[in-house]
Every structure is written in structure tokens, then in C-alpha cells.
Amino acid sequence: MKEKIKNLTKEKIFNYCIKDFAKNGYSNVGIRKISKETGLSTGAIYYNFSSKEKIAWFLYDSATELVLNKIKTAIKKSTNGIEAIKSIISVLFQLTEENLHLMEYVLYVKHKDFLPGVPPICSSKPFEYIKRFIKTKIKEGVFEDMDMVIASSLIMGPIIRVIQLKMDGILKEDLNKYTEPLFNGIVKSVYRNQI
Amino acid sequence: MKEKIKNLTKEKIFNYCIKDFAKNGYSNVGIRKISKETGLSTGAIYYNFSSKEKIAWFLYDSATELVLNKIKTAIKKSTNGIEAIKSIISVLFQLTEENLHLMEYVLYVKHKDFLPGVPPICSSKPFEYIKRFIKTKIKEGVFEDMDMVIASSLIMGPIIRVIQLKMDGILKEDLNKYTEPLFNGIVKSVYRNQI
DNA sequence: TTCAACAAAACGAGCGCTCTTTTTATTATA
DNA sequence: TATAATAAAAAGAGCGCTCGTTTTGTTGAA
């Protein structure tokens, strides 16, 4: 939620760190580098964040909340369960396209290496939200009755996989072109009433 | 390929590092810790590996080769394409159960953070091998004709997702019980002749 | 004059790694 | 088989450096 950051210095740090943490890893980005690249002094950094770890927490909280909100509105706008799946794919792909670093930080970074006690990303708020959504749709009979582990893996697995291919640089194309065909495949695996 | 390591010291380092690198991250495991935990001196470590990075490379090469071999034999033993998919799932789940650290190191660790020039894991030998296999089966008409990105994501995405749930500690159960239902879901998404 | 906001030097801990010394294993010679 | 000569392996103190952090100093607005 960059728009929530009022402090200009904080925003500078946010914008730089989310890029570099995602690209080079938390341990490979020192305070001195952050200072140099943002043009801020170490004093300014430590005035705004009491530790390097706090920066990482701030990024984590901001990024997961942003993703959560995007998913929430995507699901709410959908008229039915199947439509919602397509919306989730679409919004995640869209987000990856317009803010690759943020998605890298959310999906790709091993937060537990430097954020003690952080929940694994699949237990973070956005993913828990999706899980509850899937559970509901199974109860309603929209999706086939299957183990939650299986259902969520069949749905989220392929989506995350495609995003990671993009993040790894394997995929050069715009992800949006994959929304439709991926959706078709996923639906076949979980939808009750075969199309 | 632990059985290939003749040197006892190297094996000690291998066994310890693959655990600790996977658990705490490469940067959080220093030479002194490796020395302390293995009972070896820093001299002994540097006599066997010319740098800390070389240890990581050794782990990477050994681990990916082991996975590759397991997948190769699994595919070769299978009588048809669909059977092969189940074998791949089974062998990866099996490997996760019996050597969680190794799979964590292969699938979970961000190698590019400390191994310069390493290919992303989805471009490593085991995964390239699977990709070629899928391509063949599409040409043969076993799987539906679809973009390779879509096909491999629909197949590998859910498998990797389940393994990651296990690695994150979300899944406590033996993965083998998920082989069958996951296979059924995946097949529906890519198989040509609907069952 | 006070204080928020930042600048920048300095601190101690810990890092990867090297170097010299010591121990252990291997080989050659009688 | 015993012993001297050599090589391989391991030990561990210490070096130079970078890290996250702290401390002290400066500046401009209220």
C-alpha cells in the first residue's frame, strides 16, 4: 500500500528495498548500500526504521496487504465460483506485470530466513483468504468434493508456477495471455460440472 | 548421490550443510558454525572445499543429479504417459518423505542469492528432463495440445505446491497418501481422452 | 530555544578465508 | 618387518574486512 506511506524517506527506502531484497536477497543488501542508492544517510534510515529487520517487516506487511485487497475485490466482483477463479488468476498476473518486485518479494523471498516467526507465505493473509473461498465453494458443490490440500494445490499451484517462470526470466511474454488457457486447465481439474 | 562421496569429511560437511542451509539459509550458516557442529576445524573444511560457495555448489550438483536420476528411472519404468505422471508424483513425494532436507535444498533454497550464474531450479536438469517428456507426450497426442508453459505448469505446479506445504510444516501427513488424488486432478486438466 | 529530521563517523561483533603448525597416513628402502 | 622420508589431512589462531547499530553532531523550522 504505497499510497499509505506519507513519509517520503520511508517511501524511498520501501521502493528501493523491495527491489533489491527481491533481486539479491536480504542478506546481500546492507545498510550502506541502501544508504548509497537512496541518497539517504544511515542516520536517516535508522531514524525511520529501528532496525534492518523492521524494514523487511514493513515490506512484508505492506505487500501482503496489497495482494490481499486485490484478491478480495477480485472475488467480490465475481458472480460465481468459476468466474472468481479466473479473476484471481487475472489479478495475480496483472499484479506481476505491473509490480514484479512486489510479487517477487511476496512469493519468492524466503522470509523466514530473516523474519523470525513469520508465517510461511501460503499461510499469509491473502492465501488464507483464497483457501477459505475454495472451502466454501466445495461446500456449495461448485467444486468437486476433494481434500482441501488437493483442491488448493490444483488451483494455486499452476498459477504460482507460471508467475515463478516469469520471475525466473524464463517467460518473457505478458502473463495476461496465459490467463485464459491456464484457467481452462484448472477448471477441468476441479470443476464439478464438466463443461 | 551420497554414495558417491568417498571422503568422510566431505560427507560430514554435506550432511550438515544441506540441513542447515535449507533450514536457516546460506548466509546464516557460517564456517565457524559448520566447524563446531561437524566437529571439524575450519582448516579441514577449507582443505576439502576451496570456499564456502564451493560447498553450496557441491550440494546443488549432488542434489539435482540425485533427483534427476530418480525421475529418469521413474519415467523409464512407466508403460505410458499417464502412468509416468503418476510415477513422477510418487517419486518426488517419496523423496520428500525420506530426505526432506535435500528436497528443501533443491526446491526451496534461493540458489541465485549465493551461487552466481546458477540456473533457476525450473531450468535445472531434472525439470528440463520433465519438460522434454511433456513435450513428447503432447506431440504423441497423449496430452492435449497446449502451450508448453501451460502444460508444465498444470502438471508440475500442483506437485511442487504440495511439497512446499509439507516443507512449510502445514502438511503433517505422509505425502504418499496424496499421490492418487493429486494425480486424478492433474490428469483431468491435461489428458486428452477424458476418463 | 527547542526539537524533529537527518548526516556521518565510529564501534564491536562476526564474517570468509589464509597461514603455519601438528598429526596421521602412505610409501620406499634395508 | 622396521624405520626413515614424504605426502595428505586436519587444527586453530589470526587477518582484513564488512556488517548492523550507536553515538554524536548539524540544521532548519516552529
- How far A25 CA lies from chain B's nearest CA (Å)? 6
Mean local confidence (pLDDT), A48-59: 98
pLDDT band at A2 (very low <50, low <70, confident <90, very high): very low
Buried b (16+ CB within 10 A) or exposed e, B109-135: bbbbbbbeebbbbbebbbbeebbebbe
Dihedral of the alpha carbons of A30, A113, A52, B51, in degrees to the nearest 10: -20
Establish if A117 touches chain B: CB-CB under 8 angstroms: no
Separation in Å, CA A59 to CA A13, A86, A110, A114, A129 = 10, 27, 13, 13, 20
Binning pLDDT at 50, 70 and 90, where does residue A191 land?
Answer: confident
Q: What are the pLDDT digits (tens) for B32-74?
A: 999 999 999 999 999 999 999 999 999 999 999 999 999 999 9
Q: Taking a C-beta distance cutoff of 8 angstroms, is the pair A78, A130 a contact?
A: no
How remote is the C-alpha of B119 from its chain's centroid?
14
What does the block give as the cell for B102?
535435500
Which pLDDT belongs to residue B146?
Answer: 96
Give the CA-trace dihedral at A32, A35, A41, A43, to 10 degrees. Answer: -60
Helix (H), strand (E), coil (C) string for A98-117:
HCHHHHHHHHCCCHHHCCCC
Q: Tell me the percentage of chain A whose pLDDT exceeds 70.
A: 95
How far apart (Å, rounded) are the C-alpha atoms in residues B172 and A75? 30
Count Cβ atoms below 10 Å from residue A28 Cβ, excluding itself: 13
Judge: A24–B161 Cβ closer than 8 Å, yes or no: no
Q: Which nucleotides of C are covered by protein (CB under 7 A)?
A: 5-10, 14-20
Distance CA B164, CA B178 (A): 13
> Does the beta-carbon distance from A25 to B113 stay under 8 Å?
yes
Mean pLDDT of A118-133: 95
Best interface-test mutation with A: which of B26, B93, B115, B161 has the largest number of A CBs within 10 A? B161
For residue A156, give the C-alpha cell.
494455486
Measuring CA to CA, which residue among B123, B124, B108, B86 is closest to residue B163?
A: B108
Give the one of A113, A162, A189 whose C-beta lies nearest to B186's C-beta.
Answer: A189
CB-CB contact of B147 with A173 (8 Å): no
CATH number of A2-190: 1.10.357.10
Task: Give the cell for residue A121.
Answer: 507465505
Q: For residue A46, give the nucleotide whose C1' atom is nearest its CA.
A: D21
Helix pair angle (A100-107, A81-98), 10° resolution: 110
Give bridge partners of residue B191 from the DSSP assignment. Answer: B143
Best of A23, A106, A113 to disrupt the B interface by mutation (most B CBs within 10 Å)? A113
Tell me the C-alpha distance between A18 and A102, whole Å: 6
Predicted local distance difference test score (pLDDT) of residue B193: 65
Closest CA to A108 of A168, A156, A61, A58: A168
Fold annotation for B52-190? Tetracycline Repressor; domain 2 (1.10.357)
Residue A42: pLDDT above 90? yes
Measure A21 CA to C7 C1' (Å). 25
Q: Please give the pLDDT value at position B7.
A: 84
- Tell whether B156 lies on the interface with A, counting CB pairs under 8 A: yes
Q: Closest residue of B to A164, CA-based?
A: B122
What's the rounded Cα separation, in Å, for the pair A75 and B144? 29
Low-confidence stretches of chain B (pLDDT < 70) are 1-6, 193-195
Mean pLDDT over residues A1-29, rounded? 86
Are the Cβ atoms of B162 and A153 closer than 8 angstroms? yes
Beta-carbon count within 10 A of A178 CB: 23
In chain A, which ranges are continuous DSSP H helix? 8-24, 31-38, 42-48, 52-77, 81-98, 100-107, 125-139, 148-167, 176-190
Q: Please, what is the end-to-end C-alpha distance for chain A in angstroms? A: 39
Residue-averaged pLDDT of chain A = 94
